[in-house]
Amino acid sequence: MLEAINLECVRGDRTLFRGVSFTLRGGEMLRVVGANGTGKTSLLRMVCGLLMPAAGQILWNGVRIGELDEEYHADLAYVGHLNAIKDELNAVENVLIAGRLAGLALSSEAVTEALCEFGLGGYEHLPCKLLSQGQKRRVALTRLRLSAPRSLWVLDEPFTALDVAGVDLTRTMIEEHLAGGSIALLTTH
């Protein structure tokens, strides 16, 4: 269970939000919608433990996330607004390295198969600098797909730059994640 209690976000001298509270249990998703600059990404960064709230607290299974440290992060998969891929590496290399950094034992074969499922067959060995923005987003979302053991997905605008087929694949992936009893928190415009 993920619980946010009376969160407040201040950036510079401006309060973006205050009094934000929600509870998510297995199988539930929260979609955060708002205009640019309203604090959607800041909220997600708080949930990931990357930004401290000015007030309030975030609990994972009843314990403050700051007290859990690695135990919490082992349950968390985050795809930010930026794709976090290295342009000089190809898609397989990017996903393998990200998996290793996350403590996942991934094989090149499994990564290649997942990339093909995400519509990147034939592109998986090209340097990512040659891919379109939508293809780069698919590489980032393939990392998410292979992080299935993570019970909390935090996604900052996961549908950005995707075509209709990519949106459908991503939506299906999120639905499967929720059907398995996991949690998703995502932003959209």
Q: Looking at residue 148, what is its pLDDT? A: 67
Q: What is the pLDDT of residues 63-114, one digit of tens each?
A: 999 999 788 988 999 999 899 999 999 999 999 999 888 888 899 999 999 9
For residues 43 and 49, the answer to whether their CB atoms sit within 8 Å is: no
- Provide the H-helix boundaries in 5-163: 40-47, 65-68, 70-73, 91-101, 108-117, 133-145
Q: Looking at residue 104, what is its pLDDT? A: 85
Q: Looking at residue 81, what is its pLDDT? A: 87
Q: Looking at residue 117, what is its pLDDT? A: 92
For the record, the structure tokens of 98 come out as 């990200």
Q: What is the pLDDT of residues 16-62, one digit of tens each?
A: 999 999 999 999 999 999 998 899 999 999 999 999 999 999 999 99
Is residue 189 pLDDT above 80, yes or no? no
For residues 1 and 62, the answer to whether their CB atoms sit within 8 Å is: yes
